Amino acid sequence: MDESLENQSQTLDQENEIVTEGSAVVHGEPCQDGSVPPNVDTEVQVLDEKVSKQIIKEGHGSKPSKYSTCFLHYRAWTKHTQHKFEDTWQEQQPIELVLGKEKKEMAGLAIGVSSMKSGERALLHIGWELGYGKDGNFSFPNVPPMADLLYEVEVIGFDETKEGKARSDMTVEERIGAADRRKMDGNNLFKEEKLEEAMQQYEMAIAYMGDDFMFQLYGKYQDMALAVKNPCHLNMAACLIKLKRYDEAIGHCNIVLTEEEKNPKALFRRGKAKAELGQMDSAREDFRKAQKYAPDDNAIRRELRGIAEQEKAVYQKQKEMYKGMFVGREESGGKGKSRNWLIMLWQWLVSLFSRIFGLHRVKAD
């Protein structure tokens, strides 16, 4: 966890529940699997002759103005065939869209995004004229000619024109500084127990530190960028564990461990998520690795002790269960033996009487 969060009396690792009062946002992965467009029954809002919107989840705050830099996730399908041709959620990397400076094929998407608030998720219906046009696109993404489009979009947040500029126009220092401000905003929202909104700020910070940017860095600039990016992933993981979204939490920890394989916080949080999913052996391995790099951490000791106690309890239950099964077999086995003895006795008596009766018949003859 970032140091500014660790010094708080109520940390992300504590067991007390975080309440997200006042937050109108539910962040992250949509509930359905994303292979087909979601079924939405809300009112259709006509934004343009070729663009309409149905709200899936309400957002909060104001809407972006022209030239705002928006950060968003989306899935996109061709409307008639429902072929999915793009999905930014799979990459765990939001995209940047500068309203008024978007590519031609993003014109309909930009109209939809300009009508959305931070945290809002919506289904956009876009005519081919404001999408990939008459000719379509035969590289990536693959979109056929004259294809109407569906976008499931979530606006993570946006920077107004007065607050900054597009990432591509920033210097390295400006970009890292913008990400760090987002991280600090997320920490402040966390202090207010606005967990969902804090996650939005962390993800916007991560967006500033995109892969295309990180690949260009080396030396002190790479260290500066990682010092912002990795704490955001770790804070995201801690929030997701609280929200019981364990697979997503593991994904963020994995990203950190790719850069820092000995990071004890990433190992610890991944272990917690795995333990919640019942992956006890793998969780224990993560906790032991974390303990190797942070031997004095009491939270790691607690988790390892908890796994040991849980496994002991499971062993005792299994022992009692198997003991009951064996006792039942012994009892049923004893009854079976008694029953077999009676049958053998009866057969012997019948045989004896048959022989005596047969002997009498021989004498009579």
- Residue 77: pLDDT above 90? yes
Predicted confidence (pLDDT) per residue in 19-67, tens digit: 222 223 334 444 456 789 999 999 999 999 999 999 999 988 889 988 8
- Residue 140: pLDDT above 50? yes
Predicted confidence (pLDDT) per residue in 204-230, tens digit: 888 888 777 888 888 888 889 899 999
Query: How does strand 69-78 pair with strand 95-98?
Result: antiparallel
Which tokens sit at 195?
């967990």
Who's near 106: CB < 8 A, 6+ residues apart? 97
Biggest distance spanned by C-alpha atoms of the chain: 129
* Mean pLDDT score, 280-284: 92
Q: How far apart are CA 294 and CA 1, in angstroms?
A: 14
Record the pTM.
0.63
Percent of the chain with pLDDT strictly greater than 90: 44
- Please give the pLDDT value at position 27: 40
- Please give the pLDDT value at position 110: 95
State the DSSP code for 79: T
Rg of the chain, C-alpha, whole Å: 32
Predicted confidence (pLDDT) per residue in 219-271, tens digit: 888 889 899 999 999 999 989 998 899 999 999 999 999 989 999 999 999 99
Instruction: State which amino acid sits at residue 318.
Output: Q
Which tokens sit at 323?
């003991």
- Please give the pLDDT value at position 13: 41
Q: How far apart are CA 294 and CA 299, in angstroms?
A: 10
The answer to whether 63 and 98 have CB atoms below 8 angstroms apart is no
Nearest to 106 by CA among 70, 138, 82, 58: 70
What per-residue string of b and e applies to 253-279 under the rule 16 or more CB within 10 Å gives b? bebbbeeeeebbbbbbbbbbbbbeeeb
CA 339 to chain centre: 60
Domains and CATH numbers, the chain: 45-163 (3.10.50.40), 168-299 (1.25.40.10)
State the DSSP code for 139: S
- Tell me the pLDDT of the chain averaged across its residues: 81
Would you state the torsion angle of the CA atoms of residues 40, 45, 48, 52, taken in this order, to the nearest 10 degrees?
0
Percent of the chain as helix, strand, coil, to the nearest 5: 55, 15, 35
Nearest to 204 by CA among 330, 64, 36, 316: 64
Beta strands in the chain (DSSP E): 45-48, 51-57, 69-78, 84-87, 95-98, 121-126, 149-159
Element housing 329 (H / E): helix 298-364
Query: How does strand 51-57 pair with strand 121-126?
Result: antiparallel
- Please give the pLDDT value at position 43: 94
Q: How far apart are CA 110 and CA 118, in angstroms?
A: 14
- Please give the pLDDT value at position 130: 96
* Mean pLDDT score, 80-104: 87
The answer to whether 44 and 53 have CB atoms below 8 angstroms apart is yes
Percent of the chain with pLDDT strictly greater than 70: 77
